[in-house]
Amino acid sequence: MKWLFLFVVLLNAAFLSWHSFIQDKPKAVEESIYGPPTSERIYLLSEAPVVTQQDYVADSASNDGLEKALSSAIDQTVIDTPDLFCPRLEVEREDDKKQIAQALKDFDWGYQVKEVIGKRARFWLYIAAPETSEIAGRIVKELAAKSIDSFVINRGEMKNRISLGLYSSTDRAEQAKLRIQKLSGYSVDVYEHMRNVPLQQIDIEQPVDEKDWEQFLSRLDLAKMMIKLEKNPC
């Protein structure tokens, strides 16, 4: 009987311990389950939503409209943006350089000047060599009496030719030729050739557009200037 009583006591103690452990265990927090609105159909992973022709047309129209708007904006930006360039001017004469410098100052454009050597066309006026140097000397005296500067070349292949001067433009050379022929009665020839000459190179330091460039050039007397114009990329 003692063993039976001891077994019952141990069984009760085990039951009380188990019951206490179950009560102390925290309850799991129940999370709310999200679901889409009842009006929206739920698709399984194995299913694909059905796209109607109306949906496709609507999406295509929206994309086309967006592309047209972007294209129009890009085109308008290109139209509104003027082409810019950094001009360079080359002149030979100091007077031309001063005229350009004054115009640049009026426009408030920064610039740099440097001297370079370049080839430029020259037009030499002369009277063909007579048979002897004595005849050439006599012609020079006749020209001097009519206020025409000249001299005799006394060596090389051009010996006894009578030089009448060097001109930097074909227009001026032609004008001088006609004037000398009329005054002297002698035929005048023109020889065009290239020569190395010092040049003043003027680089404008800021980009300009075509409109501003035309306004700037209108301030210069281009007809009387020996000038070379370049539109270089900046």
- Model confidence at 38: pLDDT above 90: no
Q: Please, what are the domains in the chain?
A: 85-232 (3.30.70.1070)
In the predicted model, what is the mean pLDDT of residues 200-211? Answer: 96
Q: What pLDDT score does 140 carry?
A: 98
Taking 50 as the threshold, does the pLDDT of residue 78 lie above it? Answer: no
- 96: how many CB neighbours lie within 10 A of its CB? 21
What CA–CA distances, in Å, run from 156 to 1, 69, 159, 193? 158, 76, 5, 17
Mean pLDDT within 44-51 = 55
* Between 180 and 43, residue with greater pLDDT: 180
As to burial, measured by CB atoms within 10 angstroms (0-12 exposed, 13-18 middle, 19+ buried), residue 163 is: middle
Q: How far is CA 115 from CA 31, 59, 168, 221, in A?
A: 86, 65, 18, 22
- What is the predicted pLDDT for the residue at 224? 84
Whole-number average pLDDT of the chain: 82
Average pLDDT over every residue of 161-171 = 95
Predicted confidence (pLDDT) per residue in 181-198, tens digit: 999 999 999 999 999 999
Local confidence band at 88 (pLDDT 50, 70, 90 cut-offs): very high
pLDDT band at 146 (very low <50, low <70, confident <90, very high): very high
Half-sphere exposure of 161 (CA within 13 A, CB side): 17
Q: Which residues 6+ apart lie within 8 Å of 150 measured at CB?
A: 127, 139, 140, 143, 144, 162, 163, 164, 165
Share of residues in the chain with pLDDT > 70 (%): 65
| Residue 226: predicted pLDDT | 84
The pLDDT value recorded for residue 65 is 64
Q: What is the pLDDT of residue 199?
A: 96
